[in-house]
Amino acid sequence: MTLRRTLTAVATAALVALLPNAAQAAETYPDPRPVTGQQIIHDPTVIRLKSGGYVAYSTGGVIRARLSQDGRHWDDAGNAFTEPPSWWYEYNDTGDPWAPDISYRAGRYWLYYAVSSWGTNHSAIGVATSPSGLPGTWTDHGKVFSSGTTDHWNAIDPALIKADGRLWMSFGSYWTGIRMVELDERTGKAVPGATVHHLATRPDVPYAVEGPYIVKHGRHYYLFASYDACCSGVNSTYKIKVGRSTDIKGPYVDSTGTPMLEGGGDLVLEGHGRFIGTGGQSVFKDRGEDWLAYHYYDAEDEGTPKLGLNKLSWQKNGWPNVR
């Protein structure tokens, strides 16, 4: 029995080494950091401001804003814009923006967002800039990139990353999954005639993967994405998966070597306990540490979408997990 137990332990350890996130998937996920104040949010993007404190923007309102001094207590801070720019109405009747992404570059803050309607890829991504990153200070600069009903991608859920001296924007939702284009650093808009790179998809219709976010760690780029269905309260099946590549353009593969273009992806976080449908994620850096921001649907509050924050740790083999 002793030898058998020893061999079993060795085999289990070897499997865990090969499939680092599989072990976590079988365990109980850590709950998000406790937060207070205004917790309701959807598709959060968070940044630590140069002036101190944090701002979070999200789907809802005219890009809903929340402010925090400590990352734990959040206050409602109105909207990024006082009213929707007129061009938004080309893509929906209500001027309703989705899934913003905030970053800091060239001495100012950049806010990317999408305008679309449910169930169509007649969509566009826009950009605004601000000297402070605070709500009410944004100047809109119009369309960055768009998609139409004849395209095989959907121009929503933007996220930026600078790699090898070039600026890139990943995006995508359903249709054929996650895509990426190069941006002009000066304008923040798509390079004219830019190649649309394909990063991830699912083998089955409706190709339920969206909300990309790419992070550089070590020599790899890590593509986080939301899989399955959001926006159904406690019936949501959203979960966060990840793959990696040494080239920003891919191919991205999971820890088994399965390409994300073939449905691959290691599970990072899924629903557990009261925290249902974890997704709509982004990653932000705070004092040298990486944090995963996302929404979940609170099973103890009628499925209300709320802010989830977990620290990302990086294992010796390079793969991330949540703490």
76's enclosing H/E stretch is strand 73-79
CB distance 231 to 172 below 8 Å: no
Tell me the two tokens of residue 220: 């790899």
CB distance 168 to 112 below 8 Å: no
Note the pLDDT of residue 63: 98
CB distance 210 to 157 below 8 Å: yes
Note the pLDDT of residue 86: 96
Choice among 210, 254, 266, 298 that is catalytic: 210
Amino acid (1-letter code) at residue 70: D
In a domain, 280, yes or no: yes
φ and ψ of 261, to 5 deg? -75, -10
Radius of gyration for the chain, computed over Cα atoms and rounded to the nearest angstrom: 19
Note the pLDDT of residue 27: 55
Please report where in the chains the tokens 């009903």 appear, as a residue. 149
Please report where in the chains the tokens 């200070």 appear, as a residue. 137
CB distance 174 to 210 below 8 Å: yes
Tell me the two tokens of residue 86: 């007129």
In a domain, 15, yes or no: no
pTM for this predicted structure: 0.91
| Residue 241: strand, helix, or coil | strand
CA atoms within 13 A on the CB side of 56: 34
Please report where in the chains the tokens 């137990």 appear, as a residue. 5
Note the pLDDT of residue 8: 34
210 tagged catalytic: yes
In a domain, 195, yes or no: yes
Among the residues of the chain, which ranges form H helices? 2-18, 20-25
In a domain, 3, yes or no: no
CB distance 188 to 169 below 8 Å: no
In a domain, 173, yes or no: yes
Choice among 43, 96, 254, 298 that is catalytic: 43
Secondary structure letter of residue 259 according to DSSP: B
CB distance 63 to 79 below 8 Å: yes
Note the pLDDT of residue 9: 37
Provide the β-strand partners of residue 275.
272, 298
CA atoms within 13 A on the CB side of 72: 3
Output the 3-class SS for 99-111.
Answer: EEEEEEECCEEEE
Note the pLDDT of residue 3: 32
In a domain, 279, yes or no: yes
CB distance 103 to 109 below 8 Å: yes
43 tagged catalytic: yes
What's the domain count of the chain?
1
In a domain, 285, yes or no: yes
Domain of residue 242, CATH code: 2.115.10.20
In a domain, 82, yes or no: yes
**Considering only CA atoms, which of 309, 314, 285, 296 is closest in space to residue 48?**
285
Note the pLDDT of residue 24: 44
Please report where in the chains the tokens 């790179």 appear, as a residue. 197
Other CB atoms within 10 Å distance of the CB of residue 143:
17
Given a cut of 70, the residues of the chain with pLDDT beneath it are 1-27
Tell me the two tokens of residue 195: 């190649």
**Domain with 284 in it:** 29-322
Note the pLDDT of residue 28: 81
φ and ψ of 49, to 5 deg? -75, 150
